[in-house]
Amino acid sequence: MTLSNKLQKLSQNNEFALNSMAVELDEKLRKRFSKYFDLAPEADTAVTAAILTPNVKLNWLSVLKRTSPNVTTEIIITRALECILKFAVAEKLVPTKQSCSNHEDEIAFFDLEEINADEETTTSQSLGYSKVELESIIREQLYSYLADSIKNCAVWQKYDLLKQASLYFNTPLTSSAPVERLFSFAGIINSARRNALNDFSFEKLVLLKANN
């Protein structure tokens, strides 16, 4: 989105000598990553990752609406919500009490009272949430998070479920080995005997080799 936006600005700048090239590059970029610009179902993970980045959230939506005016904020939030809910159910996440900064909650942190059997049973039962209840909690946290003015990681102190989802969707690979493996496969396929391969066929052959 960022690169496309910059290319669009360059194409509209009369002082820029390569306007036509900027337009062509933008078209190629949108064609190559069409599933993200068209918001195909495969893009839901990327959409959710973007929303769960505190200094990004929905800032990219205005750029997308230039070419996809039918896309609404509610559609994006609904799809992200479904993605987060699926993750929460799969990981069996349990919401915890949100962090508060007032004095009363700080005192309540030091709970030194004895727990009787009835209280213990009630506490253990209260940890179980149905899918509907979990969806309601995630929805509430998501809307509050999007309206929150904090744009750094400190915001996760308020939204425990979203914090865990953000770590899941925004965690990069810890090793460059998979990428290096792809380059190796690309070198094998892009041989002199296959000099007539187009970009599409080359990409598909590399992916087939990598997933074989």
- pLDDT computed for residue 114 by the predictor: 56
C-alpha closest to that of 64 among 24, 25, 35: 35
Its pTM stands at 0.64
Query: Which residues are within 8 A (CB) of 117 and not within 5 positions of it... i.e. 6 or more apart?
Result: none
pLDDT, block means (10 residues), the chain with 212 residues: 84 78 87 88 92 93 84 93 93 67 40 50 50 90 93 91 93 79 88 88 88 77
Cα–Cα distance between 61 and 71 in angstroms, integer? Answer: 8
- pLDDT computed for residue 116 by the predictor: 54
- pLDDT computed for residue 7 by the predictor: 85
107 token code pair: 């005192």
- pLDDT computed for residue 55 by the predictor: 93
User: How far are the Cα atoms of 50, 124, 142 from residue 151, in angstroms, in the given order?
Assistant: 13, 35, 14
Cα–Cα distance between 20 and 120 in angstroms, integer? Answer: 70
- pLDDT computed for residue 101 by the predictor: 39
Helices (H), the chain: 2-11, 19-32, 34-37, 44-51, 61-65, 73-91, 103-109, 117-126, 131-147, 160-169, 177-189, 199-210
* 3-state SS assignment for residue 156: helix
